[in-house]
Structure 1
Amino acid sequence: MEKENKRLAVLVGCNYPKTRNELHGCINDVLTMRDTLVNRFGFDLNHIKVLTDDGSASILPTGANIKKALDAMVDQAKPGDVLYFHYSGHGTRIPSLKPGRPFRQDEAIVPCDFNLITDVDFRQLVNRLPKGASFTILSDSCHSGGLIDKEKEQIGPSHVTTEISGTLSVTDNIKPKAIPFESILQHLSSLTGIYTSDVATHLLELFAADASLKFRLPPLEVNLFESLKPDEGILLSGCQANETSADMMNPVMTGGKACGAFSNAVEMVLKKHEAQLSNREIVMLSREVLKEQGFEQHPCLYCNDENANATFLCQPAAQNTTL
């Protein structure tokens, strides 16, 4: 009997409790998505690993722990398997270390211990996928566009099928999911006692081999992780690389339950449309939801041409119903 393909997920919610960077809806985001994965997309609860920083999870979402969980998921992947990573938390932009790009900025997520996970780390994970497996990343964080280095833009600053504009109308209950690079440096400097603007120096001092590949490898070696051909990485980002994503602390539209604006938009789209939706449809419909709510963030899609129109998370046809 042919073995059924696995559906594996790592869900990370960072609220940074009792810090100046505290958010409110990130853990709610991943717990809601956990239920959606099980009830709609056929994931086994035992194949979903949840990392949160509120004390409810057995594993804290440190940089090392997140990468360990992602590595384990990719390591056990076989052709046909569906892998999913949902991150809700802070994001940031860091100066590029690549030769010839002194003014370019690269994207990173901010685990609870500030051990940054960068676009190069996600590129390396995607490059390790066995042929025929897919890896979908949904990042509800600031500056998340382009979080898989060198992934092809399908919907974003250069490729948008509709003009989206809006004004943030509920600012009293909104907090951006961004930590400025200067604040990252200040925090890391307070831990290392080293006063330099070179973030790599701090991260290597604090985390050594657990620091991002971007900081552990010479820039020329980092370039070896660039995508040379279409791959199975799929990124749904909460916003463009130069934008922020919103954390809604007391949103009227969710009955007062704190959540990330993008995560909530995706959930609203899935509830409204019970039929299969493509990755492109998920992003465009989420853009419409956020526009109606008055947000200025623009979700993006990065993947190869085929996956742009592929079904989001390969939703089993048996669970498909008519719109």
Structure 2
Amino acid sequence: MYMEKGKKRMAILVGCNYPNTQNELHGCINDVLTMRDVLVSRFGFDPSYMELLTDAPGSLVMPTGANIKSALNGMVDRAEPGDVLFFHYSGHGTRIPSTKPSHPFRQDEAIVPCDFNLITDMDFRQLVNRLPGGASFTILSDSCHSGGLIDKEKEQIGPSSVTTNSKSLSYSPKTIPFDSVMHHLTSLTGIDSSDIGTHLSEVFGSDASIKFCAHELEQDLLGSLRPDAGILLSGCQANETSADMNPTSDGGKAYGAFSNAVHMVLKKNVTPLSNREVVTLAREVLQAQGFDQHPCLYCCDNNAGAPFLWQPDRSSL
């Protein structure tokens, strides 16, 4: 259940620009730096409870799959009832064929760390299942195919049939096609196999996603489906791409379209907004700007109307 007061507000912020690669983006690090400032100034986050991982030149801790999962697991390990946990990811996403025999044509969602060690919807489900009672875990993922990034989370705001003329915009999609991921991993393993789990396990060993472990272990790790404290604000639907803007011609700062829309919504509305309102208003901003991507909301019914990261009592900070 959503708690009005929390002991700690903790955040992991990850921005991947993939510099000097064919998959390079430009606004992802800017996104999380801006979010860091918003978390401190508006939501009362203590910088000592925040961790920033980017692939900027000279970064001491790179946003590899293992490092991101280590940071997330550490945050969940420290969580106590009433704590507010937040994960903001800005970078590439991809879709992978389902590993479940009962859904051979389904595709599942994953984010793409800088080393291609995919973090999947099942990994996020495991994190949510480990939360202590009364804690909340909000994920804001500004990446392609991010709808449904918490496995089995209830859809509150889903696919939209409204389209805009995004062809008039110049942007880079935040997606790496599955074939490109497979080509990269195959070049590392030299294994002739179409099973991505085989390649990820060979390269990353125990740091690979739990999605590719034995089915029995998968069930033991995930447990049963139940209402929980996971909250996902996705940058787009599962079948859509999210935009990375690099307005260098006018000297503007690069940014992710969804992250920027959220910042605009928060700046315009100084009173607390619910998770549903943040997603709805961000959709309106993106539509007005001409983007053909539709942010979605996944959470239990109670958390749909709960305040986004809740606005703390300023007098107590």
Same fold at TM > 0.5: yes
Q: 1:148 to 1:135 in 2, by over 3 A?
A: same
1:203 corresponds to 2:189 = no
User: What is the deviation of 1:66?
Assistant: 0.1
1:164 and 1:287 in contact (8 A); partners too:
no
1:12 corresponds to 2:8 = no
Which whole-Å CA distance do the structure 2 matches of 1:251 and 1:291 have between them? 22
Which whole-Å CA distance do the structure 2 matches of 1:56 and 1:288 have between them? 37
Amino acid at match of 1:300: C
Which whole-Å CA distance do the structure 2 matches of 1:205 and 1:302 have between them? 33
1:91 and 1:108 in contact (8 A); partners too:
yes
Q: Unpaired segments of 5 or more residues in structure 1?
A: none
Q: 1:315 to 1:4 in 2, by over 3 A?
A: closer
Within the candidate set 278, 303, 312, 1:307 is matched to 303
In structure 2, the residue corresponding to 1:301 is in which secondary structure?
strand
Amino acid at match of 2:273: L
Which whole-Å CA distance do the structure 2 matches of 1:8 and 1:29 have between them? 18
Which whole-Å CA distance do the structure 2 matches of 1:43 and 1:12 have between them? 16
Amino acid at match of 1:181: F
1:176 corresponds to 2:178 = no
Q: 1:251 to 1:288 in 2, by over 3 A?
A: farther
Per the alignment, residue 88 of structure 2 pairs with: 86
Within the candidate set 264, 267, 270, 1:271 is matched to 267
Counterparts of 1:248-259 in structure 2 under 5 Å?
248-250=245-247, 256-259=252-255
Per the alignment, residue 48 of structure 1 pairs with: 50
In structure 2, the residue corresponding to 1:87 is in which secondary structure?
strand
2:152 and 2:225 in contact (8 A); partners too:
no
Amino acid at match of 2:31: D
2:95 and 2:109 in contact (8 A); partners too:
yes
Aligned CA RMSD, in angstroms, stands at 1.7
User: What is the deviation of 1:223?
Assistant: 4.0
User: What is the deviation of 1:169?
Assistant: 4.8
User: What is the deviation of 1:219?
Assistant: 2.8
Within the candidate set 120, 123, 128, 1:121 is matched to 123
Q: Deviations over 1:85-126 (max 9, x none)?
A: 000000000000112111000000000000000000000000
Q: Deviations over 1:250-302 (max 9, x none)?
A: 179x9611000000000000000010000000000000000000011000000
Which whole-Å CA distance do the structure 2 matches of 1:313 and 1:170 have between them? 34
In structure 2, the residue corresponding to 1:49 is in which secondary structure?
strand
More moved, 29-38 vs 189-198: 189-198
User: What is the deviation of 1:167?
Assistant: 1.3
Counterparts of 1:54-73 in structure 2 under 5 Å?
54-73=56-75
Q: Deviations over 1:188-208 (max 9, x none)?
A: 111111132110111000000
Amino acid at match of 2:137: F
Within the candidate set 212, 230, 250, 2:209 is matched to 212
Amino acid at match of 2:82: G
2:169 and 2:290 in contact (8 A); partners too:
no
The percent identity for this pair of structures is 69
2:275 and 2:304 in contact (8 A); partners too:
yes
In structure 2, the residue corresponding to 1:312 is in which secondary structure?
coil
In structure 2, the residue corresponding to 1:313 is in which secondary structure?
coil
Which whole-Å CA distance do the structure 2 matches of 1:256 and 1:127 have between them? 41
Q: Deviations over 1:65-97 (max 9, x none)?
A: 000000000000000000000000000000001
User: What is the deviation of 1:221?
Assistant: 3.7
Matched pairs, number? 310
Which whole-Å CA distance do the structure 2 matches of 1:220 and 1:175 have between them? 40
Amino acid at match of 1:244: T
Runs of 4+, deviation exceeding 6 Å: none
Amino acid at match of 2:199: H
1:100 corresponds to 2:98 = no
Counterparts of 1:242-253 in structure 2 under 5 Å?
242-250=239-247
Within the candidate set 283, 288, 302, 1:287 is matched to 283
Which whole-Å CA distance do the structure 1 matches of 2:227 and 2:177 have between them? 33
Which whole-Å CA distance do the structure 2 matches of 1:302 and 1:4 have between them? 22
Per the alignment, residue 34 of structure 1 pairs with: 36
Return the TM-score normalized by structure 2. 0.94
